[in-house]
Structure formats: C-alpha cells, structure tokens
Amino acid sequence: MITSYDFSFCYVEIYNDYVKAVMKEGTTVSPEHNDVLLQIVEKHFKNKPFIYITHRIHSYAVNPTIYLETAKIKNLVGFIVVSKDPKQKMQTKVEKTFFGKEFLQFETMETALKWKDALIKKYNP
C-alpha cells in the first residue's frame, strides 16, 4: 500500500495500480463523491491505468448514475465489486449498465486482484 485516506463516507487505500475503497455504514454514494476520486486519480494515477475496487463490507446505497461520471475517467480501466452477499450480484448487474467499461463482481479480494492484474497487463504490456 502506498497510502490511505479516511474520508467521512469511506476509507480508501492507494496501491500501485488500484484503489481499494470501503464505504462506511449508511453512506449513500452519489455523483458528488466523484470529486474525491478525481483528486485521488490526479494525485496518484496521472496518465496511468488503474482499477477501482470497492470492498462491500458495510450496508450502504449507491446511486447508479454515479457510474456515468466515473466512466469518464480516461485512465480508469475497470471496476471491481468484492462481496459475498448474493444480492450484490444483482446490484452489480444494474450498476454495470451505467459504467460502459470492465465491471465485475468477485467474492474474494484474492480473485479480484488476479483479474485486476490480468486487466492491467492489457494496458501495460
């Protein structure tokens, strides 16, 4: 891990080629939260491909229209949801329709990171 941030709505860890976020209980993720992501991207991933991983541990809501703006981040090449909750598979299908880039759900961080590595290789041969 390179660094971490503790925001009012989430905890974020920055790695070499990905961001891992854990949203806080009761948060409603909305398009305004993209401002924070954009600041992180500008600081840590300028012109470098990266993946966003959300580790869904707590209960929170997502306004799926957030992905319309998130998808505009040029060097964001994929989005991963990590959750063992079966309801997340259905939620991920809905969210994916707003994103327009690689968007997958995994039950473990281990499998998510394997897919992340494979996808990043496509952009960093």
- What are the CA-CA distances from residue 85 to residues 58, 110, 113, 119 (Å)? 11, 16, 18, 24
User: What is the predicted pLDDT for the residue at 29?
Assistant: 87
Burial class (CB in 10 A: 0-12, 13-18, 19+), 76: buried
- pTM surpassing 0.75? yes
Distance CA 18, CA 76 (A): 9
User: What is the predicted pLDDT for the residue at 43?
Assistant: 95
pLDDT tens-place string over residues 60-116: 888 888 898 899 999 999 999 999 998 888 888 899 999 999 999 999 999 999 999
The answer, yes or no, to whether residue 10 has pLDDT greater than 80, is yes
User: What is the predicted pLDDT for the residue at 36?
Assistant: 87
A 10 A CB-CB count for 32 gives: 11
Q: Domains of the chain (ranges plus CATH)?
A: 3-123 (3.30.750.24)
- pLDDT band at 58, cuts 50/70/90? confident
pLDDT tens-place string over residues 12-29: 999 999 999 999 998 988
User: What is the predicted pLDDT for the residue at 123?
Assistant: 87
The answer, yes or no, to whether residue 118 has pLDDT greater than 90, is yes
